Amino acid sequence: MSEPAIQPPGHFGIRPDKETFLAEENPFEAMMERFDHAAQLLNLDPGLYKVLRNPEKQIIVSVPVLRDSGELEVYTGYRVLYNTSRGPAKGGIRFDLNVTLEEVKALAAWMTWKCALVNIPFGGSKGGVVCDPTTMSMGELERVTRRYTAGIIETLGPDSDVPAPDVNTNERVMAWIMDTYSMHHRHTVTAVVTGKPVAMGGSLGRREATGRGCMFVTREALAKLGMGLKGARVAVQGFGNVGSVAADLMAKEGARIVAVSDKSGALHNPEGLDIAELIKWVKEHRQLAGYPKAEAFSKEQLLTVDCDVLVPAATENVITRKNAPHIKAKIICEGANGPTTAAADEILEKKGVFVIPDILANAGGVTVSYFEWVQDRGGYFWDEETVNRRLESIMVRAFNEVAATTEKYKVNTRIASYIVAVDRVAAMHRLRGMYA
């Protein structure tokens, strides 16, 4: 890494009062504010800065689909490839009414830095379709998936762009994408997506990987503060795949899960919740609401509940300048992408909260996606113990690299993570040179 060199305000054209006119809710600009800080500390060449601040490719497609009613509906789909200098683009596909190009662009950039941070040979991408899958039949969902896949098929491929599940998509959707791609190419291509069913080339341990990664880095952060997972009080916002798995694994390591939430509400028990029982409840009732063995309280209260570890594992921008001053947790482990705004970061740093940033905390998912891609291409599959052991090795190594960078540059963990990631991507561009 190059030596730190603080640049004067205005370097790269960044205004020093940027926070005053940046909307906190713009995910791309919020993410790029952290990138800008890392770029300044790395004394990044202005030309290379411009390259890394812009996505390589942004695709917008119309997705016409025949509904079961006979009505023809046209949805909008996006796919953004942010940077592929280190390898094929890697990133999820989400089906949601709130999908926007700015959000997809931000998430694709996040994936670029995330893959570089854990040092796996992928670039970053992301995709989505603006739709409400809860109103669709299984047949309609399949038609949306296949038509969207056909719309971006020239971008997809094991050597170019490899999707994975994201918000409102799952193994079933990945199976449809793989089949559509394979039918167009006239042979089975398992490595075109990850997060598939194990029976068709998916990896053991992939479903739990993001939550397991959160557990590993939380354990390391607690150790750094002289604490352990055993007896630590943990609050988890979001009880989907990431949040429920993280809560379950931490509980099995002896942590006390004092609060959890989902879209239906939040539950609190200072003595600790029975996570195994809660998971069973959600499987039967599809929501946390109504669970009788805990106190119900507001979702907003969960973020400021008395705890040692807060795991925001739901959506972007939930920790803001408004609630950050009231957060009591010693550690925040960002299971979701972008849960903390830049303004909140400053407040948390002053409070001395140890933040495990999203590009590190939730990198377990893409790490095991990488393992799946490797297994598919090699045609040789690992047992779950091997997957989990290799995941732990990568997550712990990345945590220690971030910790060392924090000390070297005298910055917080988020900026340190960006410094490690941006430096690796920039180094690859310097080695490859510029094609002209």
Asked if domains 57-190 and 209-361 share a fold, the reply is yes
pLDDT at site 121: 98
413 Ramachandran zone, left/alpha/beta (phi>0; psi -120 to 50): alpha
pLDDT at site 414: 95
Query: Does CATH place domain 57-190 in 3.40.50.880?
Result: no
pLDDT exceeds cutoff 70 at 205: yes
Determine whether 252 is an active site residue: no
List, in sequence order, every beta strand (DSSP E) within 96-217: 123-130, 161-165
pLDDT digits over 116-134, tens only? 999 999 999 999 999 999 9
pLDDT at site 299: 87
pLDDT digits over 26-68, tens only? 778 877 888 999 999 999 999 999 999 999 999 999 999 999 9
Is the model more confident about 20 or about 113?
113
For domain 209-361, which CATH number applies: 3.30.420.480, 3.10.150.10, 3.40.50.720, 3.40.1710.10?
3.40.50.720
pLDDT digits over 264-280, tens only? 999 999 999 999 999 99
Catalytic residue among 105, 126, 196, 330: 126
Average pLDDT of the chain is 92
The residue ranges of every structural domain in the chain are 57-190, 209-361
Report the residue count for the chain. 436
pLDDT digits over 327-338, tens only? 999 999 999 988
pLDDT exceeds cutoff 80 at 4: no
> Residue 377: CB partners within 8 Å, gap ≥ 6?
158, 191
For 354, the token pair is 């140890």
- Report, as an integer, the average pLDDT of 2-30: 47
State how far the Cα of 63 lies from the Cα of 101, in Å rounded to an integer.
15
pLDDT at site 150: 98
